[in-house]
Amino acid sequence: MKLIKKEEMMKKVFTLTLVVLLFSLLFVGCPKKAVKEEVIPPPPEEEVEVPPSEKPVLVLETIHFDFDKYDIRPGDAEILKRNAEVLKQYPDVKIIIEGHCCPIGTNEYNLGLGQRRANSAKEYLVKLGISPDRIETISYGEERLVTTNPKEYWKNRRCEFKVKE
């Protein structure tokens, strides 16, 4: 009789242990997965599809600068002339000129140099007939590098032209 009670007791302990273990795994051991809620945008209001040939293609080229300089080089002047011609075709388009630098120098110095580069490009576009009201400038200094390879730092010394949304 003692043997039966001992077996029953072992079964109860085993069952209880199993139940406790399962609850522990359920509440503690299984991390919750982040569930992304799918956002379904409202249907568009009768959009008119513009044929690809009629959609404006606005390509503005990047210009580059010599080390520690913000003057416009002759080859980059030609690029600015092409950019001005494109902007003249789209008189309602506004742009932001972003000035960039390589990582040589302090952050503060490079922010100032990037701003001088952006202002220099803006002044050149204004001389070419683009209204200053259409152009904003900003400096990112060395914050947005194209490359970290010192042999290619020239790629970082630039102004990029972005269409303002």
Q: What is the pLDDT of residue 46?
A: 57
Q: What is the pLDDT of residue 49?
A: 60
Cβ atoms of residues 146 and 156 within 8 Å: yes
Q: Is residue 124 part of a domain?
A: yes
Q: What is the pLDDT of residue 23?
A: 62
Tally of CB atoms within 10 A around 135: 21
Q: Is residue 119 part of a domain?
A: yes
Q: Is residue 74 part of a domain?
A: yes
Cβ atoms of residues 73 and 66 within 8 Å: yes
The closest alpha carbon to 84, from 44, 122, 38, 36, belongs to: 122
Q: Is residue 24 part of a domain?
A: no
Tally of CB atoms within 10 A around 157: 24
SS3 46: coil
Q: How many domains does the chain have?
A: 1
Domain extent for 77: 56-163
What is the Cα–Cα distance from 21 to 4, expressed in whole angstroms? 25
| Ramachandran angles phi, psi of 91, nearest 5° | -65, -15
Angle, CA of 67, 69 and 70, to the nearest 5°: 135
CATH number at residue 151: 3.30.1330.60
pLDDT tens for the chain, residues 1 to 165: 455 576 777 777 777 776 666 666 555 554 555 545 555 555 555 555 655 555 556 889 999 999 999 999 999 999 999 999 999 999 999 999 999 999 998 999 999 999 999 999 999 999 999 999 999 999 999 999 999 998 999 999 999 999 987
Q: Is residue 47 part of a domain?
A: no
The single residue listed with the structure tokens 């075709």 is: 89
Q: Is residue 5 part of a domain?
A: no
